[in-house]
Copies of this chain bind each other. A is one copy, B any other.
Amino acid sequence: MSGQHHVDYLLGLGDDALVYAQRLGEWLTHAPQIEEDMALGNVALDLVGQARALLTHAGEVEGADPVRDEDDLAMLRHEREFRNVQLVEQPRGDFAHEMARLLWFATYQRELYAALLTSTDETLAGVAAKAVKEVDYHRDHATQWVLRLGDGTQESHDRMQAALVAVHPYVAELGEDHDAARWAAEHGVGVLPSSLTDAVNAYISGVLEQATLTLPDAPRWHARGGREGVHSEVMGYLLAEMQHLHRSHPGASW
């Protein structure tokens, strides 16, 4: 089972990156300005890169015969086998919604990868070393936009505040400990998500204050279960789109 926990832990990290890259990829040609098509494309590209490294490694640790590669894992798993948090699978909203989501997610990833630099899983530590710089930029990009939108016009302030409310039910899941993470933390492979929460909240509180925004009240409900493959109903549509071509040509190379 310890092997499975290790795999599941890596899949959780990889699926977060993959699924969020998928949503960010939808922005290309739809961004508010061309510079932002590029910037969001960059973030998505970094995340695809992280996903590829993490899924490849997950497949190696799993050691199935034959070994499942990044595409086997991305394109041929069923919805219940994906271990990403529900935050990243939510449909694209307006630009404020995306910046709220990116702020939380990149801040979480930044703390996560910083902690993983010392992972006993050397491949994972290597991924983290590269990724921590990438997500530092992502966090900064989101921060700059949250400041601009929060302290821009009345409309942008209202939209940004509404976006924080919309995203809020999904952020608790980022800090929820699950079996695979508990195993990983015990073995020095990974880190307990809950151990990152204070640093994440501190950073975000700082940004929101400077942006004249307020952290919303505790939401009436919150998302749970992504790490166990329980997703929201939008996930199936996302996977249908992502996997359809690959599944339409079984065994083909691309």
Contacts and interface: CB of A to CB of B under 8 A. Distances in A.
B237 A243 contact: no
Tallying the copies of this chain within the complex gives 2
A239 interface: yes
Interface in A205-254: 236-237, 239-241, 243-245, 247-248, 250
A236 to B, nearest CB: 8
Contact of A248 (B237, B241, B243, B245): B243
Q: How would you classify the secondary structure of chain A's contact residues: helix, strand, loop or mixed?
A: helix
A108 to B, nearest CB: 30
Contact of A241 (B237, B247, B250): B237
B244 A239 contact: yes
A26 to B, nearest CB: 11
A134 B144 CA distance: 58
Nearest to A250: B250
Contact of A243 (B236, B239, B244, B250): B244
Contacts of A240: 240-241, 244-245
A78 interface: yes
Contacts of A247: 244, 247-248
